[in-house]
Amino acid sequence: MNRSQIENLYKVNGLTDYKLKNTEDLLKVHGIGFKEVDGCNRLDDLNRAIYEKFIINIFNAMGLESRTTLVPKGIYFVEETDYLIKHEPQDDFYTVIGGVVKIIDRNGMKSILRTWEDEDLKDFDPTDSESRNYLRFEYVHIDRKEWLHVIKDGNEWY
């Protein structure tokens, strides 16, 4: 789809500033039903509202042509745990040797999304761990699988 075709889709839907206003616009212009994205049905009401706000924000943050290559694949509320070691007891820092990402559904049930380990440090036993929760948005952009941490009520991501 070329740029003028994309612009026309926005104009036909009354979006002359080329900014999506809500998820209905996302469906009309890009054919993406945000509720159909894997994991959405597992989110609690608060995280679903954050996701709904975020998906509009991320599309609006991109150029028009780039938006057409963004394909949402998953949205999950997760707990990410890093497993840590100190190489020497006197060290004031830890090294991450592996981790696990678990999906937390609306009922608090957890399931493993992915695990990983540092091949060079896999023989060490962790001495500590560090966990954090966030919304994880998985997508394909320009034929490349990517994912983001969604923070600050859907207003920021990295």
- Supply the range of the domain harboring residue 146: 3-157
Mean pLDDT for the chain? 96
- pLDDT of 1 reads 79
pTM (2 d.p.):
0.91
Is residue 53 pLDDT above 90, yes or no? yes
Q: Which long-range contacts (CB under 8 A, 24 or more apart) does 110-116 make?
A: 110/79, 113/76, 113/78
Name the domain count of the chain: 1
CA distance linking residue 85 with residue 91, whole number of Å: 10
pLDDT tens-digit readout, 71-98: 999 999 999 999 999 988 888 899 999 9
What are 73's two structure tokens? 């694949």
